[in-house]
Amino acid sequence: MTTPAGSGAGFGSVSWWGLSPALDLQAESPPVDSDLRDNTEPRTPELDVLLVGSVDGRHLLRTLARAALWPRRRLHFYVLENNLEAVARHMLIFSLALEEPEKMGLQERSETFLEVWGNALLRPQVAAFVRAQAARLAHLVPEPDRLEEQLPWISLGALKFRERDALEAVFRFWAGGEKEPEAFPMSRFWDSRLRHYLGSRYDARHGVSDWDLHMKLHDRGARVIHTREFRRWRDTGVAFELRDSSAYHVPNRTLASGRFLSHHGERIAARGYWGDIATGPFVAFGIETDDESLLRTSNGQPVKTAGEITQHNVTELFREMAAWGRPRNTQGNPEQMCHGEDRGDRDRGDREDGQGASPERTASAPGFFTVRFLPLGSAETLHHKSCYKGRFQLLYVACGMVHLLSPDLGACVAPGGRLVVELARYLVDLRQEQLQGFAARVGELAQAAGFTPPPQARPSETFARFCKALDSAGQHTDSASESMTPPPDTLALALENQSQPLKGGTPPS
């Protein structure tokens, strides 16, 4: 049976990369409070950001790379995902991005990132790196003290114990790739997903991919994606071919996730690839760049491909981050902040940000930052904890998580805070009228959550931006009916007939 156009089946039920360009979150957040700037007492301003479904860390990486362009600020990123595999990928990606330059050069780090992040198949040396890092992280997750010592920028303190156990199991599965090469036959999984998605169009898949690229992605602004690279990704899952094609043959286990499937009337646990097979990882870093020369055209055609632009942008991000060295974390569990137990740590953090610190330490970091992972499914309960209610100056919601945007979640944003919602512009399965309907639905959910469009806002088809009134504190209600807003129809279709993901349990072996 042919998959109908506009079904959304190519979106998948698990997101591995974003469907929008990377943002500098400081540019999206409210400006630094003038009272803090004028305060004679030395204190570094802070920015608390809640990211719901950001999946690939692209916004965090760009924000950190551009931190030197902004006044000094301590950055606290709170990341909420709907599966532990995404949390594990966050940790792996940041471990790679913050790797010591002496251990891995800039070019090698960039190429490794691109393969792990966006390729279904890896080169053997990259697969060996994933196994080694996964084994290391598997040992660190159950040992908080060692984790804080070796990865001081990360906090798993808010995760439940069973989530940490499941996270360790994910890393152990990644680390076992050499012993069990057939445990995750990625090429077979990819082809199976493609056949199910295309149906009777499978034999004409090159024509389908060309149509989706030229009539949809190009028309929506992603003209730098080249036919050859897009067709290759649709066929094999390899988006970034930095070496000879024969070098890519090891399955990328970081794209595996567990699900419950129905088999002969029984629910069984299975592992497979349930992610995007329609748009690809080109949008996040490959269609916009600070270097305008990369966007030049010749005879109406872009001179650079999305893969080349992606490699340039990622290399520049890592170059900027290498310039300020590795960060230091001195804060404890985020739950302790509810009781004011981290006041001494905050003062100590101020000193590490330059107040009373040595010149060497001041130059080693652009500003104090932490990445804290929140429990799965906690979007509807965060407002019950006083430490999160009204805490965040910026809330980011991915298009696949819009159904979580509710008055309860809005209560976690401080008065005057900002909301950025990723729109479905680059979902190729959605027609124009569906995109418009989705954007309208986002506006309704944002308004119900206490946000309004900012005055004189620039129109955007990629992100919807809102702000919270300065006098909006106290308007939140705890109505259960308000907090359970249904997902927009156009994206609900993307999840139709998909089995439920494993959440918090140990993935199948």
Q: How far apart are CA 405 and CA 312, in angstroms?
A: 34
Coil, helix or strand for 167? helix
For residue 224, CA distances in Å to 206, 277, 340, 460 come to 18, 19, 50, 19
Specify whether the CB–CB gap between 420 and 23 falls below 8 A: yes
Q: What is the pLDDT of residue 180?
A: 64
> Which residues does residue 413 pair with via DSSP β-bridges, in sequence order?
392
- Where are the chain's structural domains? 9-31+44-260+366-468
Integer Cα distance of 348 and 355 in angstroms: 9
Angle at 124 between CA 123 and CA 130, to 5 degrees: 90
Distance CA 48, CA 393 (A): 6
65: Cα within 13 Å, side-chain hemisphere: 21
Alpha helix segments (H runs only) across 426-476: 432-448
Residue 82, token pair as written in the block: 């709907």
d(CA 396, CA 465): 10
Which residues neighbour 220 within 8 Å (Cβ) at sequence distance 6 or greater?
A: 425, 426, 461
Q: Which residues contact 344 (CB under 8 A, 6 or more apart)?
A: none
Between CA 170 and CA 181 the distance in angstroms is 16
Q: What b/e sequence results for 193-215 when a residue is b if at least 16 CB atoms lie within 10 Å of its CB, and e otherwise?
A: bbeebbeeeeeebeebbeebbee
Residue 235: which H helix or E strand, with range? helix 227-236
Q: Bin 419: left if φ > 0, else alpha if -120 < ψ < 50, else beta.
A: beta
- DSSP assignment of 33-52: PHHHHH-SS----EEEEEEE
**Whole-prediction pTM value?**
0.85
In angstroms, the CA 127 to CA 132 distance is: 9
- Residues 229, 113 contacting (CB under 8 angstroms): no
Is 257:274 a contact under the CB 8 Å cutoff?
yes
pLDDT of residue 41: 53
Helices (H), 325-431: 343-352, 359-363, 407-410
Could you list the pLDDT tens digit for every one of the 509 residues in the chain?
444 443 458 888 899 999 999 999 999 999 876 554 445 456 789 999 999 999 999 999 999 999 989 998 999 999 999 999 999 999 999 999 988 888 899 999 999 999 999 999 999 999 999 999 999 999 999 999 999 999 999 999 999 999 999 999 999 999 986 666 678 999 999 999 999 999 999 999 999 999 999 999 999 999 999 999 999 999 999 999 998 888 999 999 999 998 777 777 778 778 899 999 999 999 999 999 999 999 999 998 999 999 999 999 999 999 998 886 544 443 444 455 454 434 334 443 443 444 433 333 332 343 479 999 999 999 999 999 999 999 999 999 999 999 999 999 999 999 999 999 999 999 999 999 999 999 999 999 999 999 999 987 788 999 999 999 886 544 443 333 333 334 444 454 443 443 344 444 444 43
User: Measured between alpha carbons, how far is 146 from 157 in angstroms, rounded to an integer?
Assistant: 13
d(CA 417, CA 335): 22
Minimal CA–CA distance to 58: which of 398, 439, 464?
A: 398
**Longest alpha-carbon distance in the chain:** 70
> What is the pLDDT, as a whole number, of residue 178?
61
Q: For the chain, report the end-to-end CA distance as a whole number of angstroms.
A: 32
Instruction: Provide the pairing of β-strand 154-155 with 451-452.
Output: unpaired
Pair of tokens at residue 77: 């990123």
pLDDT attached to residue 470: 80
Region of residue 75 (left: phi > 0; alpha: psi -120 to 50; beta: else): beta
| Token output for 443 | 């506006």
Residue 137's SS3 state is helix
